[in-house]
Amino acid sequence: MVAGEKPAARRGCIYILNGPNLNLLGQREPAVYGSTTLAQIRERCEAKAKSLGFTVDFRQTNFEGELVESVQQARQEACGIIINPAGYSFTSVALLDALKMFERPKIELHISNVHARESIYHNSLVSRTATGIIVGMGAAGYELAIQAMAGLVDA
């Protein structure tokens, strides 16, 4: 730990939530999403968070209700949420409503640049409640989001 940094227990836990089909990263459309697996992203997130004095609760689900329940649980346990809602970004009012109830920082994350893709990917419901959005930075976007979250939590 760097002098002056708070220990992880005092800085808090960042929930990193991943939506449908992200369990197939590394296999799914590598030209769009890259070859990095979700397990590799998780390892990088844990290391980055630890270096900043945070812990992470890293989750992936293909089920909308599970994602909503994770957001609800985060209300009691997390200092912030980083969420890659995948396809639910554009369809889930239930997820939007759950995120509205989370009153701490929220970062929406997309591996690809959704604005350079088909028009169906241009209107995220989740963006309406996000504190910030990271798009198109590939798997590295997760580490950027953790760095940004550290600044938001400390602000």
110 is catalytic: yes
Q: Please check if 112 is assigned to a binding site.
A: yes
What b-and-e string marks burial along 52-91, b requiring 16 or more CB atoms within 10 Å of the CB? bbbbbebbbbbebeebbebbeebeeebbbbbbbbbebbbe
The catalytically annotated residue of 33, 88, 115, 142 is 33
Would you call 122 a catalytic residue per the annotation? no
Asked if 14 contacts 79 with a C-beta cutoff of 8 angstroms, the reply is yes
| Annotated active-site residue in 110, 121, 122, 142 | 110
H/E element holding 16? strand 13-18
Tell me if 111 is assigned to a ligand binding site.
Answer: yes
Please state the residue numbers annotated as binding site for substrate.
84, 97, 111-112
**Catalytic residue positions?**
33, 110
Binding residue positions: 84, 97, 111-112
